[in-house]
């Protein structure tokens, strides 16, 4: 698991006008992760998470590749210097960004302010001028990347506007090479149909194209699963939801279309040497066709983008601009719930496999490095089932929630291929190490950072299964930009106003779920006045729940893409919080209860109905019966 470190210091050292916060993520195993969480206070009410990781390789350790010219010399601009080393080892660096946020820009008068930064592997307190304009590019230069010396590799978890608009604020993209294991894939530069796009005003803090061209080019990685979702440029403009928000999508080059389960190695045109990274790409279609996740082997952290996230966390409740509204996991008309279900199950299997590896590595490391008095030999055949160490029993007989490969030593014992009936029991873990075994942690592009990945994934699958079984309270919210009917599923909704069709039996329920039942007729053969809406009905009776739900919507209120009111940015920066006083929750029922793994879902009704038709019913039942 990873934890936030020095968050209060980082916040204290940033001007109050800055729309970003930064916190270092440190691994529990003591490894310096060189990973930061950047949170953005945007005008759209998205509050995206941007993850930054500095990867470095010394010249001695960098794999060397040879270009057409055969020149292997590194340009001085690409080199850094480790101030802690007397021999001043030279190294190449890259800052890997997971998404770039909404592209928020806030003007501020030039002044000086201290900030906590890390440079060349050591933390220091530096005084530097505040930029005339705060945006992602100037914020990174102010904190992690002084003078913009280090190039950026941006991994887009998907192409929605709140993940790519910050690309406008970074150096332009080019055909920078990025290797995925041993394969190199370079796409042609994306071009819009017709005239070229002019970047927004203040894109680079007033710097012109010549100044930007002197900075290292930005490299972009996207999922190879959804190429047509992103290119040509007209598709990017539409699928990014930029058109819905009156925005112009950034015109960027995707240098690499990453395949599923591939490791990332970075190299630049100026350097014929590569920088290995601990990152693995996983395809996760569902929220969008181009959705991806990534796994950091150094920190054992898995980022799932927008595929799912907790609706509220301590991070969102303690935001410096005031408590943020609860956020549901969102689906659009372009989402595929069956693909999402498959991706979530894939993540669950991946996490369980990694947890099993970590558990074995921990046990094996203790066995190899420990003293003799850390272990005792027990005659296994002489111990009853009730007295055997449950940890050892779990290892040889994995339960439903481990779902992980059985270690080889366990197979040998089960099959009787052992020399004797004595087993080695590690007692050091029981007495000298009170902390829990290291496990994979999960983070997301909104709200969620450093929660147990297996528990979080299993819980969201169970929650979705109960939605499919019509066991979660739901309410209609504001329609989407395309006029689609959208619903919110959340246990926190008032039961009195939540909707569920009172099915008399399973046959009646299956009739409502059957495709094409929207033309039902009454006993006289006339078309029923009740409008069929999947497993819900909207009656024309003025006292129906639909009328009450419609009256609860403030049509003059500005809504974000998640169906929640957009909070006033300026009042939040002044510490006033949300003016409604109900944490921005759309149904007005209040939000007082918080569970560790609590979700809500906002989706077009047709997307959920399609999921009911395509996801096997047997799988719903399995996850409904499982508990974390």
In a domain, 326, yes or no: no
Clarify whether residues 117 and 166 are in a common domain: yes
The 8-class DSSP code of residue 325 comes to P
* pLDDT for the residue 173: 82
Helix or strand run (H / E) with residue 363: helix 337-369
Burial class (CB in 10 A: 0-12, 13-18, 19+), 82: middle
Q: Considering its fold, how many domains does the chain have in total?
A: 3
Alpha-carbon span 136 to 129, nearest angstrom: 16
Enter the tokens of residue 387.
């007295």
Clarify whether residues 416 and 477 are in a common domain: no
418 versus 334: the higher-pLDDT residue is 334
Clarify whether residues 267 and 385 are in a common domain: no
The 8-class DSSP code of residue 25 comes to E
In a domain, 322, yes or no: no
In a domain, 221, yes or no: yes
Alpha-carbon span 154 to 163, nearest angstrom: 10
In a domain, 324, yes or no: no
Alpha-carbon span 531 to 544, nearest angstrom: 13
Clarify whether residues 464 and 427 are in a common domain: no
Q: CA dist 561 to 188, 230, 446, 586, Å?
A: 31, 20, 13, 13
* pLDDT for the residue 482: 81
Dihedral of the CA atoms 240, 245, 250, 255 (nearest 10)?
-10
Q: Does position 257 have pLDDT exceeding 60, yes or no?
A: yes
- Tell me the CB-side half-sphere exposure of residue 625, using CA atoms within 13 A: 7
DSSP string over 55-70: EEEETTTSPB---SS-
Clarify whether residues 476 and 402 are in a common domain: no
| Pairing status of strand 329-330 against strand 133-134 | unpaired
State the pTM of this model. Answer: 0.69
In a domain, 405, yes or no: yes
pLDDT tens digits along 21-33: 999 987 766 667 8
Region class of 614: left (phi > 0), else alpha (psi between -120 and 50), else beta: alpha
pLDDT tens digits along 524-544: 444 333 332 322 322 233 332
89 versus 545: the higher-pLDDT residue is 89
Alpha-carbon span 53 to 303, nearest angstrom: 13
In a domain, 310, yes or no: no
Clarify whether residues 39 and 129 are in a common domain: yes
In a domain, 193, yes or no: yes
Clarify whether residues 417 and 457 are in a common domain: no
Helix or strand run (H / E) with residue 601: strand 601-604
pLDDT tens digits along 439-468: 999 999 999 999 999 999 999 999 999 999
Enter the tokens of residue 184.
């190199």
Clarify whether residues 66 and 9 are in a common domain: yes
CA 557 remoteness from chain centre: 28
In a domain, 238, yes or no: yes
Instruction: Give 226's pLDDT tier (boundaries 50, 70, 90).
Output: confident
Kindly report the three-state secondary structure assignment for every residue of 70-116. Answer: CCCCCCHHHEEECCCCCCCCEEEEEEEEECCCCCCCEECCCCEEEEE
User: What percent of the chain shows pLDDT beyond 70?
Assistant: 53
Alpha carbon distance, N-terminus to C-terminus of the chain: 17
Backbone angles phi, psi at 347, to 5 degrees: -65, -40
Kindly report the three-state secondary structure assignment for every residue of 189-219. Answer: CCCCCCCCCCCCCCCCCCCCHHHHHCCCCEE
Q: CA dist 342 to 285, 337, 619, Å?
A: 9, 9, 11
- Choose from 29-38, 272-281, 399-408 the range with maximum mean pLDDT: 272-281
Which residue segment(s) compose the domain that 471 sits in?
447-625
Clarify whether residues 491 and 418 are in a common domain: no
Clarify whether residues 370 and 452 are in a common domain: no
Alpha-carbon span 419 to 377, nearest angstrom: 14
Clarify whether residues 129 and 252 are in a common domain: yes
Clarify whether residues 425 and 535 are in a common domain: no
């Amino acid at each position: 698991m990873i934890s936030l470190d020095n968050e209060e210091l980082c916040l204290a050292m940033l001007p109050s006008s800055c729309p970003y916060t930064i916190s270092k993520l440190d691994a529990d195993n003591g490894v310096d992760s060189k990973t930061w969480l950047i949170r953005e206070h945007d005008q759209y009410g998205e509050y995206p998470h941007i993850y930054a990781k500095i990867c470095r390789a010394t010249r001695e350790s960098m794999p060397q590749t040879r270009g057409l010219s055969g020149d292997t010399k590194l340009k001085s601009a690409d080199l850094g210097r480790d101030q802690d080393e007397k021999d001043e080892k030279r190294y190449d660096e890259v800052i890997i960004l997971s998404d770039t946020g909404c592209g928020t820009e806030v003007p501020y008068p030039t002044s000086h302010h201290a900030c906590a930064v890390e440079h060349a592997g050591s933390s220091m307190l530096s005084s530097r001028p505040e930029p005339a304009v705060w945006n992602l590019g100037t914020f990174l230069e102010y904190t992690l990347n002084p003078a913009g010396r280090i190039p950026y590799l941006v991994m887009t978890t998907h192409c929605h506007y709140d993940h790519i608009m910050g690309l406008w604020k970074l150096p332009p993209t080019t055909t920078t090479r990025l290797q995925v294991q041993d394969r190199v894939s370079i796409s042609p530069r994306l071009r819009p149909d017709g005239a070229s796009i002019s970047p927004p005003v203040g894109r680079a803090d007033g710097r012109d194209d010549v100044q930007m061209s002197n900075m290292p080019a930005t490299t972009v990685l996207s999922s190879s699963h959804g190429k047509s979702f992103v290119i040509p440029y007209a598709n990017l403009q539409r699928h990014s939801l930029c058109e819905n928000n009156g925005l112009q999508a950034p015109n960027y080059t995707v240098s690499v279309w990453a395949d599923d389960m591939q490791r990332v190695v970075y190299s630049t045109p100026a350097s014929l040497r590569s920088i290995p990274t601990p990152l693995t790409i996983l395809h996760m279609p569902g929220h969008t066709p181009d959705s991806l996740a990534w796994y950091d082997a150094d920190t054992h952290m898995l980022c799932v983008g927008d595929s799912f996230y907790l609706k509220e966390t301590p991070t969102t409740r303690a935001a410096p601009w005031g408590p943020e509204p609860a956020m549901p996991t969102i689906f659009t008309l372009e989402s595929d719930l069956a693909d999402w279900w498959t991706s979530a199950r894939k993540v669950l299997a991946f996490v369980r496999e990694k947890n099993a590896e970590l558990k074995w590595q921990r046990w094996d490391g203790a066995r190899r490095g420990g003293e003799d008095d850390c272990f005792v030999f027990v005659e296994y055949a002489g111990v009853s089932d009730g007295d055997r160490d449950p940890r050892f029993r779990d290892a040889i007989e994995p339960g439903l929630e481990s779902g992980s490969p059985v270690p080889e030593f366990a197979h040998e014992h089960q099959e009787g291929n052992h020399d004797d009936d004595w087993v080695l029991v590690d007692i050091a873990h029981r007495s000298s190490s009170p902390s829990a075994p290291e496990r994979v942690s999960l983070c997301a592009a909104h709200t969620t950072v450093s929660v147990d990945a297996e528990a979080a994934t299993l819980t969201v699958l169970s929650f979705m299964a109960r939605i499919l079984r019509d066991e979660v309270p739901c309410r209609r919210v504001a329609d989407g930009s395309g006029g689609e009917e959208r619903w919110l599923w959340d246990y926190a909704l008032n039961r009195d106003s939540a909707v569920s069709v009172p099915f008399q039996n399973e046959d009646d329920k299956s009739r409502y779920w059957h495709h094409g039942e929207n033309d039902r007729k009454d006993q006289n053969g006339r078309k029923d006045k009740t409008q069929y809406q999947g497993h819900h009905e909207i009656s024309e009776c003025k006292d129906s729940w639909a009328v009450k739900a419609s009256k609860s919507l403030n049509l003059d209120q500005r809504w974000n893409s998640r169906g929640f009111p957009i909070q006033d940015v300026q009042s939040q920066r002044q510490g006033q919080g949300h003016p409604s006083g109900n944490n921005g929750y759309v149904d007005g029922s209040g939000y007082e209860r918080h569970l560790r793994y609590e979700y809500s879902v906002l989706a077009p009704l047709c997307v959920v109905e399609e999921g009911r038709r395509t996801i096997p019913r047997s799988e719903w039942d399995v996850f409904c019966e499982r508990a974390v």
